[in-house]
Amino acid sequence: MLNATINKIVIAGGGTSGWMLAAALSKLQGKDKYDITLIESEVIGSIGVGEATIPNIQLYTGFLGIDEGDFLQKTQGTYKLGIEFIDWTRKGESYFHPFGGIGAPLNGIDFIHYWLRNREEGGSSDFGLFNAETLAARENKCSRMEGNPRPDLPSVNCAYHFDAALVAKYLRTYAETRGVTRVEGEIVAVEQNPTTGHVESLVLKSGEKIAGHLFLDCTGFSSLLIGKTLGSEFIDWSHWLPCDSAVVMPCESDVGPLKPYTCSTAKEYGWQWRIPLQNRIGNGYVYASQYISDELATQSLVTSIEGKPLGEPRIIKFKSGYRKKIWDKNVIACGLSGGFLEPLESTAIYLVQSTITKLLAHLPKNNFDPYVITTFNQKIHAEYQNIRDFLIAHYKLTERNDTEFWRHCQDMELPESLKERLGLFKASASCNVQHAELFKEHSWFAVLIGQGLMPDSYHPLADMLSKGEHKNFLSNIHSAVSERVTLLDDHRDYLNKYLG
């Protein structure tokens, strides 16, 4: 379709990704300019286990103008300061990947070099002493500070844990209030233009046809439009990310401290998450099915959760990778239909958000230009590849060799991009992170050092400080982050007060 106004948008599928799209489009353009229809089926349902996010989620909720308190209250939300990785490097050890920066640069040199000098001179090797999120997590503290009364102190960055099904419900209300039309129905056929191959309409089981100009595929792993209809090839990364299954089961929340972070505990054939919500704890065992059966994985999860189970365990099958064309013709895939990276660093909802951001930046007006489509796909692919490398590093750098799964992770050949980054970090404590990458230097530093990869040297300019100056520099940073943490409330107490 060329030279005609593209103003009829059809979203195939609901769930978190579909309603995130619908809410964003309704907020930006309004019903008066765009006709937005979302088709979903209660029969098909959604996966709905994406309960952990990263701080970028606040850009999305801020864009929508959502009140945080209302959002957290209606989604059983809690705060998240980062992820604790337990037994990943070796059994009995743990480290924390915080959402905020570590230390502060000085004289153009990143803080890690001063930390490495301190370590070499016999000082503490605890990275967390210089990061507010880590210290706050250790004390189970997290709260908002109205007006930021101490702007001189380091900020505290957080994301959310929430019930994904409740988030979809919340965003549905938001979108429908602003003119998005929801159609209940199961898509049974896709009609295409015989000349261009563009999708023209979706046929529902009832016989109704929903026509459109731009189609957004939120059909999950079935990838009905971009995969089954247009045949976009799936690039499989399971040789690097071998976990292909998850068994999930929530349990009752305990009465102890409400942890403001996700826990990821390495197990014999994968890892287990623990995500605290207001009303329950989300649990899941992500595993590689070639090494352990679904039955044994389920047994492992059920016997290791902390509280009384809520419901029956549910098994989800997946494959890490992405579609070669996430935008093809007049179809754009969003969420699981376009690709999936296992949930180790809570990137699933972020990738939906990123796709929405790129869609809005490249929203077509009256044609589907191949240069625009190519640019869009290149940006999305680069993002998937950067996140992929970050995830692989967790597995590759383990010292665990207690099972065939972990021995595979140790022995696997790396993508060249990751091999170069790890080599650079080992040689010079640098990661050469580009501006557009999701995970910045501090994230790479936290994970690589946490996994036991220690640089051979630090920047020579870090030696320009005298011993006294160096000691004072580190002491001042630690004092500042510690003082910031003293101003925070207990996580549970704050939510009870904040949400009433």
**Residues 97, 498: Cα–Cα separation, whole Å:** 26
Please enumerate in sequence order all residues whose Cβ is within 8 A of that of 263, keeping only pairs 6 or more positions apart, or say none.
Answer: 83, 84, 86, 273, 274
Please enumerate in sequence order all residues whose Cβ is within 8 A of that of 434, keeping only pairs 6 or more positions apart, or say none.
Answer: none
User: Backbone dihedral region of 192: left (phi > 0), alpha (psi from -120 to 50 degrees) or beta?
Assistant: beta
DSSP state of 461: G
**Residues 394, 390: Cα–Cα separation, whole Å:** 7
| Cβ atoms within 10 Å, residue 336 | 25
Handedness of CA 12, 15, 21, 24 (dihedral sign): positive
Tokens encoding 90: 């070796």
**Residues 490, 410: Cα–Cα separation, whole Å:** 39
Residue with tokens 């040297």: 457
Of 312, 346, 291, 392, residue with least CA distance to 57 = 346
DSSP state of 395: H
Handedness of CA 466, 468, 471, 477 (dihedral sign): negative
Handedness of CA 148, 440, 51, 136 (dihedral sign): negative
Please enumerate in sequence order all residues whose Cβ is within 8 A of that of 427, keeping only pairs 6 or more positions apart, or say none.
Answer: 455, 456, 457
Q: Which residues are catalytic?
A: 80
Of 460, 459, 425, 427, residue with least CA distance to 441 = 425
Strands (E), 390-467: none
Of 87, 51, 71, 499, residue with least CA distance to 250 = 51
Helix (H) or strand (E) holding 384: helix 370-396
